[in-house]
Structure 1
């Protein structure tokens, strides 16, 4: 065997071994964030999959987004559901318990899944649960994302060790500052988003979009491996490792132009001494139908 052939054989063997090692590392990592309960035996849909993303703070679902992925068209529609959405449940009589964000505190991620299924009439295939430490770690792990502050922000909550002080037009980048943007609703002395919590949702959507774009610019699988530390510690899902690897690979085909954000329609209303977001069920039905009807027709 000449030197050229010998080198080629060694190279191919090393390459295959490296791929195997990387696959094993990724599989073990994904297995560490996959929960044994939930839809463990769920078969991957051929046309559309719905994933609920739940951001948790103080035992409440502070951020609720439903990502509906049309796998044939490589198109993703993300619905934001306000945390103050009115969602009364049997056996829960206090006003604060009638907000959708309270469903997590009593029933965990499965409770939020049921609530969103009831509201949207969509079947949710999977959920991904994270807390703000995950956001901080992931944002810093990808080198930060630049976001312009839309309002003067001056808020202090010593009990929660939360201190937010930004000037309008200031650009922030670090994970710690991005979390503050995600959490800010109004100032201690008054003044917040003109459209209330819907303004906060727009900020959440902007940050998610920027994060997705930055992660997708590189190798998605490699980025997952690079971020495995923070994801392993702060993220939980009921997808199996094989399902996560499948969707990570599929995500390479989704362009940022095919990711669309929506906020469920409705309006704020004061009831029982608290401010609620009351969904317009007819408009929501029309909104969901407009997005899913092409897939339904194809089926």
Structure 2
């Protein structure tokens, strides 16, 4: 009688062969993902470097045909403090074209103010909005006046120095632009996507103001952006407008980080050169790349100067909360470090 054949379990054999196979497949997929990620990161770095080199070259060509205006000098630091050594503080000033109410001569005033502070130690960027209806001491004026009047009295330098004294923060750089410049900038980058909180309808034939926006997710052009930014005819008035300005600024920075804005760099440089009052040299391409790299990896956080709205429409800073906010933005230097 022939010997019986010993049967082996096919299930056991399959399990033994499948486990190494599954491991190899998973390892292969992981390696493929890592290779793709490495390629994307390296490729992005090369593309960005080439693009900004191209942008620098294009602007150099533009300068040959259109000599640039003299570079405005930095504003001297209002005071020195070791606490602020690792920060770059820039004041963004939105300028209105309308006459200043209550002043005999017509002039432009600061319609929106936002401090941008960059921490060079960790790459963080902080935004702090300042209501234009803050009454404060202004050099050359006998009594406290609205912060918005500083641009009328002394341009960007006086506005910068006044904000520096108000916050006790050294500020040396500024960017001042009006609504037309903002509209040009938005149209150049192809508009921005933003959710409009409510229907906005307002007409003022005297000033020529016309606002008509529909509630909902919108693709804002330059003109629509102007309407969104100037509207203040709701229950919150100026405070609601500041909140919209903060939201707009965040959406604008996010759009700037998108690849579709890259071909517009030469036009952006042209707008910067001819339509903006600033003492920042945007042609320092290495600093621009570092800034964009930081913005692309940093969550945009925008806050408003703490305070209270009183019946007259003035915004009265809450000194205790302002001090806390400034300490959060610029942590005090330990005494032993300050003495070194």
Same fold, TM exceeding 0.5? Answer: yes
Q: Distance in 1 between matches of 2:237 and 2:56?
A: 50
Higher mean alpha-carbon deviation, 54-63 vs 226-235, is at: 226-235
Q: Distance in 2 between matches of 1:219 and 1:34?
A: 31
Matched, 1:248 2:288: yes
Contact 2:59 2:266 in 1 (8 A): no
**Cα offset, 1:35, TM superposition:** 3.7
Which of 190, 203, 213 is the equivalent residue of 1:143? 190
Which of 45, 66, 69 is the equivalent residue of 2:115? 66
Which residue of the partner structure matches residue 129 of structure 1? 176
Q: Distance in 2 between matches of 1:183 and 1:28?
A: 38
**Cα offset, 1:247, TM superposition:** 3.0
Contact 1:138 1:231 in 2 (8 A): no
Matched, 1:229 2:270: yes
Which of 244, 248, 258 is the equivalent residue of 1:217? 258
**Cα offset, 1:229, TM superposition:** 3.1
**Cα offset, 1:93, TM superposition:** 5.9
**Residue ranges of structure 2 left out of the alignment (5+ in a row):** 1-50, 78-83, 98-107
The 3-state SS of whatever aligns with 2:274 is helix
Which residue of the partner structure matches residue 238 of structure 1? 279
**Cα offset, 1:91, TM superposition:** 5.3
Written as runs of structure 1 = structure 2, the 5 A alignment for 1:1-299 is: 21-22=57-58, 24-25=60-61, 32=68, 35-39=71-75, 47-58=86-97, 59-89=108-138, 92=141, 98-169=145-216, 171-186=218-233, 192=234, 194-218=235-259, 223-240=264-281, 244-254=284-294, 255=296, 257-270=298-311, 274-293=312-331, 296=333
Q: Distance in 2 between matches of 1:108 and 1:176?
A: 26
Contact 1:220 1:248 in 2 (8 A): no
**Cα offset, 1:172, TM superposition:** 4.4
Pair 1:287–1:20, CA change in 2 (3 A): closer
Contact 2:76 2:172 in 1 (8 A): no
Task: Choose 1 or 2 for highest CA Rg.
Answer: 2
Q: Which has the higher contact order (CA 8 A, sep 6+)?
A: 1
The 3-state SS of whatever aligns with 2:90 is strand
- How many residues are aligned here? 268
**Cα offset, 1:46, TM superposition:** 6.6
1:51-88 deviation digits (Å, cap 9, x = unpaired): 00011013010110000001221110000000111113
Q: Distance in 1 between matches of 2:322 and 2:66?
A: 34
Contact 2:193 2:217 in 1 (8 A): no
> Normalization by structure 1: what TM-score?
0.78
Contact 1:149 1:171 in 2 (8 A): yes
Contact 1:268 1:278 in 2 (8 A): yes
Contact 1:29 1:232 in 2 (8 A): no
